[in-house]
Structure 1
Amino acid sequence: MVSLATIRASNVLLSTHLPSSPTILFIGATSGISLSILQHISQYADAPHIYSVARPPSAPAHQALLSILQEQHPTSTYTLIEADPTLLSSIPKITSTLTTHESKLDMLIFSAGHLSFEGRANTAEGLDPGMALGYYSRLLTLHSLLPLLNKSPNPRVLSVLAGGMEAPLNESDLDLREPENWSVMAAAFQGATMGTLSLEHLAQQNPELSIVHWAPGVVDTPSLARARKFGVPAAAAEAMSAEEAGERGLFYVTSERYSVNDGIVPIEDGVEKATKSAGGIFLVGADGESKDSEAVLAPMRERGVPTKVWEFTLGIFEETLKLGGD
């Protein structure tokens, strides 16, 4: 396990190692893990350009928080993008904001998610909201912002979901549209596994891009409170604080330990480089160690499933954005 002391020692070095004026996009930072990462980056970064997405109901409170951070760090820039990432038709607004105002993107951090404990209630675009947030909107955003990421000297992506917890896919119904194929957990594992396969696909096409798919475990966030309300067994476990999770997330997105090339912060003596999956990304568990999902992923790669998943995903993008008028 990577100790919290090691993580904190690395994060402190950001103040001297992180290049000035990094550009960072958060999707899911209105609460929980990503909010904590945002606050820690604000503490250490030199004049960052931070963009944060909030849905309309959360936007006023999030803007108030960003305004406080702006007062505390006057050389920084904080931009709220009001959009609902559950809807793929909202993603072009997010990505165009970045491409209009920035020449590069250094970090892209996702943590927005949803578990449909009440049953599947599709979005206005016909998608399961959990898969929309945990998979489709993340991959559409990443795919759209690859040109900006590739202009960064050290581009990093952190997807907070379920790295290392991949499971066999329902390959005949990737979107789980048939009622008998859908359940809360089936959708969660389907989206997480499709996420890993598609992240690997993009990593292979963009070899300078460092991608971490992290499963943080049980963390004290509003999502945990909701899971406990519905009696989810795993939610009864002892929870990591959002503060610690934020420090860990910052470490995973900045340390050389999880970088395909040189990291932003060099790893300490005695700390080994994390092992990538055979597909080229870092699958990281709650303890910060690499997870091995090759027993599940390797047979799918051999059968060409990643290509099938990505082509299906591109079809969903095209169909949904066309329906949305974009």
Structure 2
Amino acid sequence: MSLYRNAVWFLNGIHQYTRKGYEAAFRDFEPQDLDVSVVGRSFMITGANSGIGRATAMAIAKKGGTVYMVCRNKDKAEEAKLDIVSESGNSEVHIHIVDMSETQKVREFAEAFKRQYPALNVLINNAGCMVHKRELNAEGLEKNFATNTMGVYILTETLMPLLQKSRDPRVITVSSGGMLVQKLRVDDLQSEKGDFDGVMVYAQNKRQQVVLTQQWAKANPVILFSSMHPGWADTPAVSTSMPQFHQMMGDRLRSVEQGADTVVWLALSRAAGRMRSGQFFQDRTPVAAHLPLAWTQSSAEEVQGFMTQLETLARAYLQNAA
């Protein structure tokens, strides 16, 4: 079954996830969707100093939005901010230094942000990592899971009250088409069983993000939740984490701006605001979150078990902090 999933996924990818796939989809885009001004609206973007996060921050700043860049590296964040402010002419760009793999630090940041700011219109969960050997963070969580899943969960859950009282609130999570080869493994969220494969662990985390998005949408009707696949884009993260894939694909990879396009569309456009909450998007279009005949769907009991485990972990860190 895994061979079938990988084969179907790769064939789909060659046609849809590459630069040519974007160019084909682009012909059906409505140009006026992004002919908007978002002056007065606020956007938090994690991992905003490079790749898709940086391209997203730049696009939003150019439309007049207030941008909160959540970054791990202060020097890189400052450099990116200077470029964004200079090119966009928008000085409402702010840096917050947070390592998304440090669960308690993420919670502390989100709580402080709620106290400091009266509103947050859009949260973009973009930061991620692909660590190829099993490492634990200071709190004992596997590092990929801590960054890609637990950090996203803690940040979003903690900021939910602020989003709920803001106008037209949206949460966008940058997932990956790689999640299509993975079924949610409720009994092994932190990849403790079997051989550790960083690429597959990343894909499993991305499946977890899609399930989270679906569950948040059901529980919070006031907020528009979306997850998306940016396609195969030429980002620093891809070149570092998957050098062989990066070299093999070469010029077929999308630009970072093409990879960020659907994030920007989901964050800014009125058309996206009319979409049903909880969907998975590719090139501005909702697409299936499962490959046909791949048997990656989860039962209601499995999904509830997944959510319960996340809630239990979150409560444990809240108690430890107190």
TM range (shorter): 0.7 to 0.9
The count of residues paired between Structure 1 and Structure 2 equals: 295
Give the letter for the 1:99 counterpart.
K
Give the aligned partner of residue 298 of structure 2: 300
Measured after TM superposition, the shift of residue 70 of structure 1 is 4.2
Give the aligned partner of residue 279 of structure 2: 282
Measured after TM superposition, the shift of residue 235 of structure 1 is 6.0
CA distance in 2, matches of 1:77, 1:149: 19
Give the aligned partner of residue 53 of structure 2: 34
Q: Answer whether contact 1:212 1:253 (CA < 8 A) is retained.
A: no
Give the letter for the 2:231 counterpart.
G
Superposed, 1:4-153 pairs within 5 Å as: 6=29, 8-11=31-34, 13-15=35-37, 18=38, 20-45=39-64, 48-55=65-72, 58-70=73-85, 76-117=91-132, 119-153=133-167
Give the letter for the 1:236 counterpart.
M
Shifted more, 102-111 versus 158-167: the winner is 158-167
Shifted more, 244-253 versus 66-75: the winner is 66-75
SS at match of 2:140: coil
Measured after TM superposition, the shift of residue 283 of structure 1 is 0.4
Asked if 1:319 corresponds to 2:286, the answer is no
The percentage of counterpart residues that share the same residue type is: 17
SS at match of 1:300: coil
Question: Which one has a larger percent helix, Structure 1 or Structure 2?
Answer: 2
Q: Answer whether contact 1:218 1:235 (CA < 8 A) is retained.
A: no
SS at match of 1:112: coil
CA distance in 2, matches of 1:196, 1:297: 16
CA distance in 2, matches of 1:70, 1:170: 43
Post-superposition CA distance 1:47-89 (Å, at most 9, x none): x33211121xx21231243245446667642221112111111
Asked if 1:236 corresponds to 2:249, the answer is yes
CA distance in 2, matches of 1:234, 1:66: 29
Q: Answer whether contact 2:46 2:70 (CA < 8 A) is retained.
A: yes
CA distance in 1, matches of 2:146, 2:198: 13
Measured after TM superposition, the shift of residue 125 of structure 1 is 1.8
Give the letter for the 2:258 counterpart.
E
Calculate the aligned-residue CA RMSD, in Å: 2.7
Give the letter for the 1:3 counterpart.
F
Give the aligned partner of residue 176 of structure 2: 162
Measured after TM superposition, the shift of residue 166 of structure 1 is 6.2
Measured after TM superposition, the shift of residue 206 of structure 1 is 0.9
Q: Answer whether contact 1:7 1:247 (CA < 8 A) is retained.
A: no
- Structure 2 unaligned spans of 5+: 1-23
Q: Structure 1 pair 6/106, CA: closer, same or farther in 2 (3 Å)? A: same
Q: Structure 1 pair 112/220, CA: closer, same or farther in 2 (3 Å)? A: same
Q: Structure 1 pair 320/234, CA: closer, same or farther in 2 (3 Å)? A: farther
Q: Answer whether contact 1:258 1:282 (CA < 8 A) is retained.
A: no
Measured after TM superposition, the shift of residue 99 of structure 1 is 0.8
Q: Answer whether contact 1:166 1:293 (CA < 8 A) is retained.
A: no
SS at match of 2:52: helix
- Structure 1 unaligned spans of 5+: 262-273
CA distance in 1, matches of 2:241, 2:89: 38
Give the aligned partner of residue 212 of structure 2: 198
